[in-house]
Amino acid sequence: MNGKVAFLLGSESDKETVEVSRKYFDYFDIELDLRVMSAHRNPDDVSKFATSARENGYHVLIGAAGMAAHLAGALKAHSTLPVIGVPLAGGIEDGLDALLSTVQMPKGVPVATMAVGKAGAINAAILTAEILSLNNTKLSEKLTEFKRIGSKL
The domain ranges of the chain are 4-148
Q: What CATH class is the domain 4-148?
A: alpha beta
Which amino acid appears at position 81 of this protein?
L
DSSP class of 117: S
Cα 39 from chain centroid (whole Å): 14
Residue 32 pairs with which residues in a beta bridge? 5
- pLDDT tens-digit profile of 5-47? 999 999 999 999 999 999 999 999 999 999 999 999 999 999 9
Residue 106: pLDDT over 90: yes
CA–CA distance, 11 with 41 (Å, rounded to integer):
10
Residue 37 region, left (φ>0) first, then alpha (ψ -120 to 50), else beta? beta
pLDDT at residue 136, rounded to an integer: 97
- pLDDT tens-digit profile of 54-71? 999 999 999 999 988 899
pTM, 2 dp = 0.96
Percent of the chain scoring above 70 in pLDDT: 100
pLDDT at residue 10, rounded to an integer: 92
Helix H segments across the chain? 15-18, 22-27, 43-52, 71-77, 96-103, 118-132, 137-148
CA–CA distance, 120 with 18 (Å, rounded to integer):
9
